[in-house]
Amino acid sequence: MRSVQAAGGAPLSGAGPARPGNRARRIALLVVVATVIYALDQVSKFLVVKFLEHEEPLTVVPGALVLTVIRNAGAAFSIGTGMTIVFTVIALTVVVAIVRTARQLRSLPWAITLGLLLGGAVGNLTDRIFRSPAPFQGHVVDFIQAFPVTRFPVFNVADSAIVCGGVLAVFLAWRGYQIDGTRQTEEEPSGSGAEQAVEPAESRDGIPEHARGEVPEQTREQAGDRSRERADG
């Protein structure tokens, strides 16, 4: 069966590629997810800047969730401050890479994953391009502080989407799910069924048929006597 599959061009492992019509639907899902994340990110930043900046932190859930506005010149979770232009270039590269990868997209889980990454990357990139202090050097608005006693870095909706998308990407790659809708699985172990070697047949005197011509007559008689003794016993 495996030789027939190989001759016919069928994959030996994993599911076959999804129908071409799935590509348009998966790309549409990616765009929807990215748009929702981007809208949530920008609207939330607009609201907190308007109502909470230069104000006391707003406690939403005591000990668990506080809203406090800061301006972040670094990457997600206030990492790498002082490298704003570098992170702007990285964000642009990520956006271009996701758009190029989407041309092969036929997987539903990967459509959601890339949508989260794209929406988060574009959300923070918008801040870097348009916010103060200068174009392409803007500081990202962060405002979500989870469990303040742990001193966990302040983040925003875009950061959350990027982290969730990254975790999903690692999980999908680990499970073998491909962007084109196929899935890699381990090859079946060899030596099953018809592939196993057939043991040579033996005659009633215990000597393989293919070796009878190579065994002296006396040896065959002795083997025959032993076979008859076992039968009489």
Which residues are the active-site residues?
Answer: 142, 159
Q: Are 137 and 85 in contact (CB under 8 A)?
A: yes
Strands laid side by side in the 58-61 sheet: 58-61, 65-72, 140-146
Tokens representing 180? 């084109």
Closest CA to 125 of 153, 81, 90: 90
DSSP H/E element including 144: strand 140-146
Please tell me the distance from the alpha carbon of residue 117 to that of residue 120, in angstroms, as a whole number.
5
**If we measure between CA atoms, which residue out of 186, 1, 181 comes closest to residue 106?**
181
| Cβ atoms of 154 and 78 closer than 8 Å | yes
Three-state secondary structure call for residue 142: strand
Which positions ≥6 away from 40 have C-beta within 8 Å? 157
**First-residue to last-residue Cα distance in the chain:** 47
118 and 34 Cβ atoms separated by less than 8 Å = yes
Residue type (1 letter), 46: F
